[in-house]
Structure 1
């Protein structure tokens, strides 16, 4: 396997240092995903910029985290499942719904179920969403805007999930409580 550096603020390319330093101050630790992304500073910038844009969608914080968790589990990304399990907990997603998502199932909450189901469908269908799936999402009380906003979630997780797969990102100690093993093996 190609070895990618787990950068620190000091070892990262100059173009990534300010972003890493800011993240470390904001979060209290440097997520290893960002430490690996720092190898390509524009990737780190793209991810953080898109993440900020995604946070401004009309989806609630809980719905945002459910989408990110569902996509990460579908893509088999252990790092992101752990990170978004913590994010979902912070966004007050019910524990039982978080566990279902980690088991590759859909939440009990009807709106969160619709978000997870459509987000996973987008990934599995490679963006060729079936009309019935779009209608089910809209029928759960969502708007076309939110359907399209989930494309941002898929894009965001494509950046991080693929980076973690390629770079072999280890889980931070701060995320160990949310460690996840893909039930698909």
Structure 2
């Protein structure tokens, strides 16, 4: 009998053993998604770091206002995670992107080469900037901001684009460090109709 590979190379605590605030957060995610994304279980190995990670994640991705849609935020994550070879984030956030944009092919396109993806010129400019932050942040200059402004992005939007890219650089590296395995459920999300029930 074969067993499933572990979701992390580090010990994964039982839900019942977690501090109440983290257990509640995980249960809320489970209620919404129908399963617990492995990242929550793996990061719970270090509760204080998990709280800090989730606080910054939420500040970037759940904030009100700004010039980026939820789908565009996920595009940034998928493009930069592809560049960083992060299987977990490409698979998990690719699923979220497919759900938000209702385009089953888009995440794969963006993960491999956003310049060939079916996106708008505005979104391409956004991803060009995100990729430069991801791969060559030391080369960012005023002309990069001007390129975003031509597409209607503000300097605050540029901060958001760059911060998402930078934060997921951390996330990608941690996921690769711990061997974080994507949930099987993510692979089909947004590709096939959701089961009713």
State the TM-score bracket (shorter-chain normalisation).
Answer: 0.7 to 0.9
- Match for 1:104 among 76, 89, 113? 113
- Match for 2:92 among 68, 71, 83? 83
Moved more, 127-136 or 67-76: 127-136
Offset from partner CA, 1:93-148 (integer Å, 9 cap, x none): 64454332121333331121112111111011135413332221221221111001
Give the aligned partner of residue 120 of structure 1: 131
Q: Which aligned pairs between 1:132-147 and structure 2 lie closer than 5 A?
A: 132-147=143-158
The question of whether the paired residues in 1 share the 8 Å contact of 2:78 and 2:94 is answered with yes
Query: Partners in 2 of 1:21 and 1:174 — Cα distance?
Result: 17
How many aligned residue pairs are there?
177
Pairwise CA distance, 1:25: 2.5
TM-score normalised to the size of structure 1?
Answer: 0.83
TM-score normalised to the size of structure 2?
Answer: 0.78
Give the aligned partner of residue 181 of structure 2: 170
Matched, 1:157 2:163: no
Structure 1 residues 78, 34: closer, same or farther in 2, change over 3 A? same
Structure 1 residues 44, 27: closer, same or farther in 2, change over 3 A? farther
Structure 1 residues 8, 111: closer, same or farther in 2, change over 3 A? farther
Query: Partners in 1 of 2:17 and 2:183 — Cα distance?
Result: 18
Gaps of 5+ in 2: 1-7, 190-197
- Match for 2:75 among 50, 66, 69? 66
Gaps of 5+ in 1: 179-185
**3-state SS, counterpart of residue 30 of structure 2:** helix
- Match for 2:56 among 46, 50, 54? 50
Structure 1 residues 133, 100: closer, same or farther in 2, change over 3 A? farther
Query: Partners in 2 of 1:27 and 1:94 — Cα distance?
Result: 19
Structure 1 residues 21, 8: closer, same or farther in 2, change over 3 A? farther
Moved more, 119-128 or 73-82: 119-128
